[in-house]
Amino acid sequence: MTKPVNGFSKLTKTEKIEWLAKNYLHDNSEAIPILKQYWNDDEKLQKLHDEFIENTVSNFYLPLGLAPNFLINGKYYVLPMAIEESSVVAAASKAAKFWSERGGFKATVINQKKIGQVHFLFRGDYPKLENLFKDIEPKLREAVKPITRNMEKRGGGILNIELIDKTEDLENYYQLFVKFDTRDSMGANFINSCLEKFAEVLQEEASNAETFNKEEKDLQIIMSILSNYVPECIVRAEVSCPVAELSEDSNMTGEQFAEKFIQAVRIAEIEPYRAVTHNKGVMNGIDAVVLATGNDFRAVEAGIHAYASKDGQYSSLTHAKVENGIFKFWLEIPLALGTVGGLTSLHPLVKLALDILQKPSAKDLMQITAVAGLAQNFAALRSLTTTGIQQGHMKMHLMNILNQNQATDKEKEDMVEYFTHHTITHSSVIEQLEKMRA
């Protein structure tokens, strides 16, 4: 039976791996070489990666692919995408090519406001608290001047500070609700530093307020933290073309395709079980670009899925219609992204990914990322409503199955040829591979 370990963080990387192998892994002979084979030969680069997080033992690789031919606001882009799922990059590329021949994608940043909150308890008269807030708001702003100075030089900073009464939802609960513009930075550290200073000033001013009684002076800060729900940091991406131009398949006219496609979107708008899978397809494109550019995909996911529920039921992020003979497909999503700070200046591949995107501003990256989500969703819906999702997916999955079974290059070549004319399933691939080897 294994035992708890003390001082694990003080062990060297090799000692951590040896401890892991001894206490938790059944086959030590394979485990240690597997972990070590992903170390980078460049010691300086490996040290950089080791210091991104704690207790590092190896590097976990994801493929970095390229999706070309994205025409966005009249400019061509190649999108770097970091993802492990088969067919995502191929589907995005196919959608990009399709729409590049029909005017391309249009994208607009509607707003860039980000949110932070100081959550606190106040047991007393609300009018007194309200008066205190009005009196000290200039002090709050002055207290964070050393933090906001550089951001303000770039045109950002604190936009608004509000006192919010939440006592109907939770006894004695109030907030300072703060809106920020963080320019090209995602801004988490900036926002959290400002909020913690606000909390410090608020608590101090309450304790010294002459109009407060003893209980009111005991204002209790619960926490100070940014929100990853950013419904005022919105980007819109869209495509449109005459309905007749949608036809690429002789078995379906543009009108038939548009009608079926729009019904598929409407199902996702009203049916949560479908909407979750539908939106997962959107996030295939978004997450891949977010990861490649060193942004926080967990924050993006949480914020976008919350936005999908903003009307009281989880629903589709994308929408479609035909108006005056024009097919329109679009999405509006919250995206808080950055192109400076964090990993953007540290991780070599992140820096390269931003170079590939022609050194975008945060607004540019919001637009590019939203377009990736729209393109991915279009590709998925087009497959679902025409050939079915598995045909393209299983072609890509074929190579994974072959690699799992150590197929040689010649075997791969012969299997790809064979399954050009046969249905791909996991069992059929194994059966055919065994026949070839026999």
Structural domains of the chain ordered from first start: 8-50 (no CATH), 64-110+234-387 (3.90.770.10), 114-227 (3.30.70.420), 393-437 (no CATH)
Residues of the chain with pLDDT below 50 are none
Query: Of all residues in the chain, what percent carry a pLDDT higher than 70?
Result: 97
**Residues near 288 by beta carbon (within 8 Å), at least 6 away in sequence:** 65, 81, 82, 83, 88, 89, 92, 372
For the entire predicted model, the pTM comes to: 0.89
| Residue 105 confidence (pLDDT) | 98
Query: Of all residues in the chain, what percent carry a pLDDT higher than 90?
Result: 82
Is 269 catalytic? The answer is no
| Residue 31 confidence (pLDDT) | 84
**Helix, strand, coil percentages, rounded to 5, for the chain:** 50, 20, 30
| Residue 389 confidence (pLDDT) | 57
If phi > 0 it is left, if psi is from -120 to 50 it is alpha, else beta; for residue 73 that is left
Sign of the dihedral through C-alpha 28, 29, 31, 37:
positive
Please state, in angstroms and rounded to a whole number, the distance separating the CA atoms of residues 137 and 216.
18
| Residue 179 confidence (pLDDT) | 98
Please, what is the Cα angle at 258 between 256 and 264, to 5 degrees? 105
The catalytically annotated residue of 85, 245, 259, 271 is: 85
| Residue 151 confidence (pLDDT) | 96
Decide: 192 and 224 in contact? Cβ < 8 Å: yes
Phi and psi torsions of 378, nearest 5°: -60, -45
Is 181 catalytic? The answer is no
Is 393 catalytic? The answer is yes
Is 200 catalytic? The answer is no
Give the ranges where 101-187 is alpha helix by DSSP (H).
126-143, 145-153
- E strands in 6-145: 64-72, 75-82, 106-109, 114-121
The catalytically annotated residue of 260, 280, 347, 412 is: 280
Strand 64-72, strand 318-323: pairing: unpaired
Half-sphere exposure (Cβ direction) of 283: Cα atoms closer than 13 Å:
18
If phi > 0 it is left, if psi is from -120 to 50 it is alpha, else beta; for residue 107 that is beta
| Residue 391 confidence (pLDDT) | 56
CB atoms within 10 A of CB 425: 14
Phi and psi torsions of 422, nearest 5°: -135, 155
